[in-house]
Homo-oligomer: A and B are copies of this chain.
Amino acid sequence: MLENEMLNMGMAAKRASYRLAGISTDVKNKALQAMAKALEEREEMILAANQVDMDEGRAKGLNNALLDRLLLTPERIKEMADGLRELVGLPDPVGEVTGMWTRPNGLRIGRMRVPLGVVGMIYEARPNVTVDAAGLCLKSGNAVILRGGSEALNSNIALANVISTAAVGAGIPEGAIQLVQRTDREAVNIMMRMNDYIDVLIPRGGAGLIRAVIDNATVPVLQTGVGNCHVYVEEDADLEMAVRIVVNAKTQRPGVCNAMETLLVHEEIAPQFLPVVSSALREKGVELRGCERTREILPDCLPATEEDWKNEYLALILAVKVVKDIEDAIEHINTYGTGHSEAIVTGSYEKACRFVQGVDAAAVLVNASTRFTDGYQFGFGAEIGISTQKLHARGPMGLQELTTTKFIIFGNGQVRS
């Protein structure tokens, strides 16, 4: 029975999570080292499993972008191993007491950081998520149930096998790293409702996957990733800086969530700025889609529709809108944005303050590219995703975001009157 199978995985993960919560940083670090080493030693077997997925993918007619995501190479296996080794150097968040105070009755009350328990990862094609997520969960003391995409099943089975065997060999409890080997939809539906055994779900993938998890899960969800990001150029911006930031935000890596999708320009500066920036963007192969006022200035620009304001292109396409003022820009962003990363280019102290205060997003940037919103760039090290929701974590989520707190209260016989 599928239901029993899933519940058994959940129970095993829960059991493992209680033991894992008390395991020392040393043991966890040794396990990460062992996992990294095992990946490199079992390279041949992993590549063979990946070859099966690649062959099936080609036979199914997957496009080249998907096939590239699916592909493992010796270099990519080494990158995964290095990712695990990097976690060794990051501080262990578990057990940190973030504050302690004494009440008038003598009770000492503190807040201690503890693992979440069991994390459920639901993700798509990239097999490296299997290793990255397992490593982050292990270091933060969480058990993990991994459920990858069906296209990567053979690769994921091989990877999960190698790392979980290595982890158990290094003293990590069985059940701490498990992979759902069923790719039917029903398995994931059960998983999304296993509130007794899974503490949080993290979906990673396209907007469709994330929406499906939000709509169907009763387990709390950490929403990640969709980014309809804007850069707003104020009338008093340094135009050379504005061009540099806009070109970087759009073209440095267009397929990721912190790339810019819409450019907003103050009407006073638009006649001067738009011709310059459009030629710089077109040099990089960017297609522009503008509002009416944009098209008055750039007559050869395609027209933008309502859909363009909503779209996360993830491609070399940019929507452009001329706005009346900063309030108009903030309203556009709060209406169409996905709460990921929003930037202003301005020379004005007052405008910078207003933008930072008024824009509702995980990251608000002044005079910097939206591309900086990520765990490494922020100095956190590895991340499990970028949260675009407001509960628990907002923005890049690293080890600390994979923990919760508990109150610890020390008394000497106090009762309440």
Contact = CB atoms under 8 A, between A and B. Distances in A.
A371 B200 contact: no
Copy count, this protein chain: 2
A23 to B, nearest CB: 11
A107 interface: yes
Interface stretch (A84-92, A291-299, A361-369): A361-369
A360 B238 CA distance: 54
A360 B405 CA distance: 10
Interface stretch (A2-10, A277-285, A388-396): A388-396
A404 interface: yes
Interface in A333-372: 334, 352, 356-358, 360-369, 371-372
Interface in A376-414: 377-379, 389-392, 394-395, 404-414
A36 B70 CA distance: 61
Contacts of A408: 356, 363-364, 366
Contact of A405 (B352, B365, B394): B394
A410 B366 contact: yes
A391 B404 contact: yes
A161 interface: no
Contacts of A257: none
B215 A361 contact: no
B394 A391 contact: no
Given A22-B358, A222-B391, A358-B18, A371 B101 contact: no
A144 to B, nearest CB: 15
A107 to B, nearest CB: 6
Interface of A: 18, 21-22, 101, 103, 107, 109, 112, 114, 116-117, 195, 199-200, 214-215, 218, 220-222, 238, 241, 244-245, 247-249, 252, 334, 352, 356-358, 360-369, 371-373, 377-379, 389-392, 394-395, 404-417
